[in-house]
Amino acid sequence: MSVLIVGSTALDSIKTPRAENPRLLGGSASHAAVAASFFAPVRLVGIVGADFPQKYLQLYRRHKVDLEGLQIASGKTFHWSGEYEVNMNNRRTLATELGVFETFTPRLPASYQDTPFVLLANIAPSLQHHVLNQMRRPKFVVADTMDLWLNIALPDLLKLIRRVDCFVLNDSEARQLTQEDNLITALKKIHKLGPKYVIIKKGEHGAILSTRNGGLFLSPAYPLPRVVDPTGAGDSFVGGMVGHLSAARGSIDLNLRRAMIYGSVVASFCCEGFGLKFTDRVTRPAIEARFKQLAKLTKF
C-alpha cells in the first residue's frame, strides 16, 4: 500500500571538521520519502522554490516518489546550514532561511486523499493537522516532531498527538514533554496524551516502542564504525518504518517491530554519507543483509 509523507523539503549545507557540503538535498520529508521508497510507493507533500535543483527532482523520481503533491513556488527553497563537532554528536545551526516554507499550505491532490498510511514527518504541527484534515480515512497515521515545536507550538502538538496512531520523538524531547527523566515512565505519560503506539528514538542507542497495553520493544541501532553525517537519520528511521509497515501483510502489532528494524537499517545507511548521498545508492538486498545482521547481533 502507498504511504503519504508530508514534511520539509530543503537544501542542507552541512559543515563538519573534515568537509563542507553545500546545498545537499535534505529535509524530513526527503529523507523519509527515500527511506520509505525501498518498501512501498510514496506520495510526497511539500514545497520547494524555483531554485530547487533538477537533479534532486530526478533523485525523487529515481525512487518512484509521486511528486504531484510537491509544490514548486516562486522564491527560494528552505535552506538550513549547520555544523557538526568532531564527535558528530553536537550540531549547531548556522542559519535557517525559510524561503517558500514561510507561507506553505499543504494541498493534497485528490489522488492522495485515500492513501492508507500517513507519515507526518517533522514539520510545524499546524501543517501536520492541515494534511490530516484533508485525508479521508487513513488506516494508520504516524507523526514525528522536534524540540522546536515543543517550545513554540505545544498546544498544536498536543492536539495532534491525540489524532495519531503512533507518535515518534527522541529521548530528550520525551523528557521535555513529560517532565520525566525515566523513559519508561515518560512513555506511559505520552500514552495518556492519546496514541496507541509511542516510539522514543535514542540515536546510536536504538529506539523503544511502547504500546498502550504496556508492551515494550527494545529496537537496536545498527552499529557503525564511522558516522559521516547523522542528519536525517531519525527521518530515515520513521520513513523506512512506515514504508515497511505499509508493505507488510498482517496486523500492525505483528509488523511494527520488524518495521522498526528496517527503519534502523535505512537510518544506518543514511549516517554513512552526507545528506542522501549514501541512501540514494542503497539496494534492497543491502537492506535485507543488514536486517539479517541485526537479527544475529541481538540473538541470545
Q: How far is CA 208 from CA 219, 258, 260, in A?
A: 6, 13, 9
Q: Give min distance, CB of 254 to a second copy, in A.
A: 10
CB count within 10 Å of CB 48 equals: 27
| Distance (Å, whole) CA 156 – CA 207 | 25
200's grid cell = 522514543
Shorter beta-carbon distance to a second copy: residue 123 or 190: 190
Q: How far is CA 35 from CA 85, 101, 128, in A?
A: 26, 22, 20
Shorter beta-carbon distance to a second copy: residue 75 or 273: 273
Count of positions (residues) in the chain: 300
Q: Give min distance, CB of 111 to a second copy, in A.
A: 34
Q: Give min distance, CB of 177 to a second copy, in A.
A: 16
Q: Give min distance, CB of 221 to a second copy, in A.
A: 8
Shorter beta-carbon distance to a second copy: residue 142 or 260: 260
Shorter beta-carbon distance to a second copy: residue 67 or 88: 88
Shorter beta-carbon distance to a second copy: residue 89 or 111: 89
Shorter beta-carbon distance to a second copy: residue 137 or 296: 296
Q: Give min distance, CB of 141 to a second copy, in A.
A: 23
- In 3D, which of 248, 283, 287, 293 has the Cα closest to residue 267? 287
Angle between helices 28-37 and 54-62 (to 10 degrees): 30
Q: Which residues bind a second copy (CB under 8 A)?
A: 86-89, 181-185, 188, 202, 204-206, 208, 216-220, 223-227, 257-258, 260-261, 295, 297-300
Residue that the C-alpha cell 534502523 belongs to: 264
| Distance (Å, whole) CA 31 – CA 94 | 21
| Distance (Å, whole) CA 239 – CA 118 | 10
- Specify the DSSP class assigned to residue 294: H
Q: Give min distance, CB of 291 to a second copy, in A.
A: 9
Shorter beta-carbon distance to a second copy: residue 104 or 222: 222
Q: Give min distance, CB of 188 to a second copy, in A.
A: 7
| Distance (Å, whole) CA 93 – CA 146 | 14
| Distance (Å, whole) CA 247 – CA 142 | 15
